[in-house]
Chain A
Amino acid sequence: ILNVEQSPQSLHVQEGDSTNFTCSFPSSNFYALHWYRWETAKSPEALFVMTLNGDEKKKGRISATLNTKEGYSYLYIKGSQPEDSATYLCAFFNAGKSTFGDGTTLTVKP
């Protein structure tokens, strides 16, 4: 059983704060790492797909980095807005299987 850990479990920030979350995964047999945003009553939505050690990806105010040698990825949100409130999931892919973390639930207060 593969261990994919996300921290923190939940986070409450004020509008305008910047924040970051961590996803830890096995450092062997790496294939890809996905980040998803899951808003209440909606489907999980893909944010980033990361495949190479050292990858850095950005979409608007959200960015992510990847370190496959030490087995972690960071997701950063700059200037959080209430619409960023959601659960952020990472998923580790190796041959044939995917393992999701339990997510970080972000609440942004106006």
Chain B
Amino acid sequence: DAGVTQSPTHLIKTRGQHVTLRCSPISGHKSVSWYQQVLGQGPQFIFQYYEKEERGRGNFPDRFSARQFPNYSSELNVNALLLGDSALYLCASSLGFRDRDRGYTFGSGTRLTVV
């Protein structure tokens, strides 16, 4: 079984540009969560999507947006990139919206560098 796949693995963008990151969850999982991880800190919650609807949002500016497709894959979009957006972006998949009894399965992440 394929795990959570994220693309691209690495990306270099210039300040002011736009970026789209992609995530495919484990087959059968309907929820995708996005996290930003800066070196030395824990992952920071950005969004959770379930059944194509936003179910949770972290403290990120409106430059960050996401969506989930009918096949449950997801895109994270960041507009007007700032140097501070440089980070590892992690996608986590789970079976349902409130998985009390199961942990999340994470992808390997997309390393975004803004120059």
Contacts and interface: CB of A to CB of B under 8 A. Distances in A.
Nearest to A105: B40
Contacts, number: 65
Interface stretch (A12-20, A69-77, A78-86, A95-103): A95-103
Interface string B15-28: 00000000000000
Contact of A44 (B41, B57, B90): B90
A102 B42 contact: yes
Contacts of B43: 44, 89, 91, 100
Q: Is the interface of B mostly helix, strand, loop or mixed?
A: loop
Contact of A89 (B42, B57, B98): B42
Contacts of A101: 42
A21 interface: no
A98 B102 contact: no
Tell me whether chain A's interface is mostly helix, strand or loop, or mixed: strand
A97 B45 contact: yes
Contacts of B1: none
A36 interface: yes
B104 interface: yes
Interface of A: 1, 4, 6, 31-32, 34, 36, 42-49, 51, 89, 91, 96-103
Interface of B: 3-4, 33, 35, 40-45, 48, 55-59, 90, 98-109
12 contacts: A34-B103, A42-B108, A44-B104, A44-B106, A46-B105, A98-B48, A98-B56, A99-B45, A100-B42, A100-B44, A100-B45, A103-B42
